[in-house]
Amino acid sequence: SAKGDGKAKSHVFHAQMDIDYHYKQRLKADLRLAIQEGGLTLAFQPLLDVATRKVVACEALARWNHPELGMIAPSVFIPLAEETGLISDITAWVIAEAISQCRSWPGEVGVAVNVSTRDFRGMDVEKVVDAALSAAGLPPTRLEIEVTETALIEEPEIAKSVLEALAAKGVEIALDDFGTGYSSLSYLSALPFSKLKIDRSFVQDIEANERSLRLLTNVASLGRDLDLTVVAEGVETSGQFDLLLAKTQIQQVQGYLFSRPLPARDIPELIVHLNHDTVIPPKRYKM
Ligand code: C2E
Ligand code: MG
Ligand code: MG
Ligand code: MG
């Protein structure tokens, strides 16, 4: 009967919820251990300047290789860390580790770190940044802090004062994943952003869809109009890159076309390789 089916379905539904619940509880406990025992690592992915063809910075991306379950994606463990408050420990570690790695990179290559929604109330971001920079002897201008719009909606006042203090020291503040989430253009003028990272969903089908390309072009020129450094995230193909060069004024690019995120030990060599090899042929540049 229909009634019986409903009951069976609801039973299955609840069983699945129990599995999800227990799985999440286990991951949260394991994540706590991983943080304590050095089980997290960082991968770094370069951002390249379109005009100079050089690596300008590398973004630190947290990685968790679970001893039994293998790699757990940040899209899974970062939200869990936010729910439990463990995120402050992760962020503090990422900031210190990323800044320490940056010291061994050639030239003036900077480092970008993602700061999460909960960090603005869960920790003193400014203090952690100051301590990490002075421990490494790295100037604040080598650091970029990436925040998403969600962080700003949830903690607008704290976020604003922390970001302003950091920007005043010369830390670059980037609005990450721009165009996703609850975009409010008012953030762009209310907060001290100097960089706009256009989410990769805008780049994804510019080769196939003329309207997507025009949307991207317009978002990029909005950013340029506000004197922001505009970055395209998630550039995967040379076709996408060609269109970016031909149709937009985007200044920086990041994506699998140039490099996947790589372990810290590979980064000095990667920077040298990208800077010296004509990974991006000069003729493709609109100077
Ligand atoms: P995000 O900050 O926007 O980082 C860029 C993400 O896009 C990374 O995913 C990167 O691997 C991926 N990506 C880069 N180029 C390409 C491309 O060409 N194609 C595609 N399909 N993807 C590309 P990842 O490492 O899985 O991180 C996902 C998100 O998790 C990050 O997005 C960030 O929001 C968050 N996250 C990662 N590490 C941290 C961290 O240390 N702290 C915080 N708070 N969040 C982090
Ligand atoms: Mg980011
Ligand atoms: Mg900088
Ligand atoms: Mg992003």
| 215-239 tens-digit pLDDT | 999 999 999 999 999 999 999 999 9
**What pLDDT, on a 0 to 100 scale, did the predictor assign at position 53?**
86
Q: Could you say which ligand is closest to the alpha carbon of residue 231? A: 4
Does any ligand 1 atom lie closer than 6 A to the CB of residue 61?
A: yes
Residue with CA closest to ligand 1 atom 44: 116
Average pLDDT of the residues in 121-147:
96
Residue among 31, 63, 114 whose CB has most ligand 1 atoms within 8 A, to mutate: 114
Does any ligand 1 atom lie closer than 6 A to the CB of residue 71?
A: no
Q: Which of 12, 50, 85 is nearest to 247 (CA)?
A: 50
Does any ligand 1 atom lie closer than 6 A to the CB of residue 74?
A: yes
- Strand 172-178 and strand 195-198: the pairing is parallel
Does any ligand 1 atom lie closer than 6 A to the CB of residue 48?
A: no
Query: Does the reported pTM lie above 0.90?
Result: yes
**What pLDDT, on a 0 to 100 scale, did the predictor assign at position 1?**
44
Give the number of the atom of ligand 1 that is nearest the alpha carbon of residue 74. Answer: 30
Q: Could you say which ligand is closest to the alpha carbon of residue 115? A: 1
| Residue 287 reports pLDDT greater than 80 | no
Query: Which residues are near ligand 4, the ion (C-beta closer than 5 Å)?
Result: 176-177, 233
**What pLDDT, on a 0 to 100 scale, did the predictor assign at position 150?**
77
Q: What is the mean pLDDT of the chain?
A: 90
Residue with CA closest to ligand 1 atom 34: 114
Q: What percent of the chain stands above pLDDT 90? A: 76
Q: Which of 98, 79, 189, 178 is nearest to 144 (CA)?
A: 98
- Strand 172-178 and strand 110-114: the pairing is unpaired
Q: Phi-psi region for residue 197, left (φ > 0), alpha (ψ -120 to 50) or beta?
A: beta
Place of tokens 């570690």: 93
| Residue 84 reports pLDDT greater than 50 | yes
**What pLDDT, on a 0 to 100 scale, did the predictor assign at position 2?**
45
Does any ligand 1 atom lie closer than 6 A to the CB of residue 174?
A: no
Q: What percent of the chain stands above pLDDT 70? A: 90
User: Across the chain, where does the E strand assignment appear?
Assistant: 40-49, 55-66, 70-72, 110-114, 143-147, 172-178, 195-198, 229-232, 252-253, 262-263
**What pLDDT, on a 0 to 100 scale, did the predictor assign at position 252?**
98
Residue with CA closest to ligand 1 atom 23: 234
**What pLDDT, on a 0 to 100 scale, did the predictor assign at position 75?**
94
**What pLDDT, on a 0 to 100 scale, did the predictor assign at position 164?**
97
Average pLDDT of the residues in 243-266:
97
Average pLDDT of the residues in 4-30:
76
**What pLDDT, on a 0 to 100 scale, did the predictor assign at position 13?**
65
Residue 134 — pLDDT band, cuts 50, 70, 90?
Answer: very high
| Residue 94 reports pLDDT greater than 50 | yes
Residue 270: other Cβ atoms inside 10 A? 18
Q: How far apart are CA 254 and CA 44, in angstroms?
A: 11
218-239 in b/e burial notation, b at 16+ Cβ within 10 A?
Answer: ebbebbbeeebbbbbbbbeeee
Q: Helices 2-36 and 74-84: crossing angle, nearest 10°?
A: 80
**Using CB atoms within 10 A of its CB, is residue 44 exposed (0-12), middle (13-18) or buried (19+)?**
buried
| Residue 286 reports pLDDT greater than 50 | no
Per-residue pLDDT tens digits for 160-204: 999 999 999 999 999 999 988 766 678 888 899 999 999 999 999
Residue 7 — pLDDT band, cuts 50, 70, 90?
Answer: low
Does any ligand 1 atom lie closer than 6 A to the CB of residue 176?
A: yes
Residue 282 — pLDDT band, cuts 50, 70, 90?
Answer: very low
Per-residue pLDDT tens digits for 98-128: 999 999 999 999 999 999 878 998 899 999 9
| Residue 78 reports pLDDT greater than 90 | yes
Residue with CA closest to ligand 1 atom 33: 114
